[in-house]
Amino acid sequence: MRAVADYFAEEGYVCLVPDLFWRIEPGIELGYSPPEFEKAFGLYQAFDIDRGIDDLGAALDTLRQRPECSGQAGVMGFCLGGKLAYLVATRPDPAVAVCFYGVGIDQALDEVAEINCPVVFHFAGADQFVPPEAVARVRDAIGGRAGIEIYEYPDVDHAFYNKNRADVYDKPSAMMAHSRTIAALRRVLGPD
């Protein structure tokens, strides 16, 4: 996540990477080995979504108060973070939200009416964690609303944006998703 934040900082954005699991295991850092994946899945199962959204709202407030920040802030997330970015768009009032392959968004569509900012969704066409049926439910519930962009990348898998996952990284799709994300951020946040 730090590498992603650095990537967006190079584009001119002030970035903050919150410690999502601080209530369970503060300061945890995981890679992509099978034992680390199992550990991450356990953290995911123990994660309290509502408290996490509260924490992300506090992180947005902190970011907005930074002298380097323009006063507006957006949120972006991957996997669980993709779902959290969607939910933050319905609650703590970010300026923009970007959701990469958000697991479980289709189970939280009762909050669609509360979306109060532009939201960009990126879904992988061959994602076993967010299958096509889940994407279709999201598209049916949210698609067509002003400020909502839903993109599907055919024949790529979950985590296609992650350069550290050679088994699933897809450079053309990642570059397209990055360009679309930057376009959305620039429309709302700048940089000027």
Residues marked active site are found at: 127, 158
Handedness of CA 12, 82, 101, 38 (dihedral sign): positive
Residue with token string 């944006």: 161
What angle is formed at CA 105 by the lines to CA 99 and CA 110, rounded to 5 degrees?
125
Quickly count: other Cβ atoms within 10 Å of residue 144's Cβ. 9
Contact 134, 158 (CB under 8 A): no
Beta-strand relationship, 148-153 and 119-124? parallel
Cα atoms in the Cβ-side hemisphere of radius 13 Å centred on 32:
10
Largest Cα–Cα distance in the chain? 44
- Rounded CA separation 96/70 (Å): 14
Q: Write out the two tokens for 57.
A: 């709202």
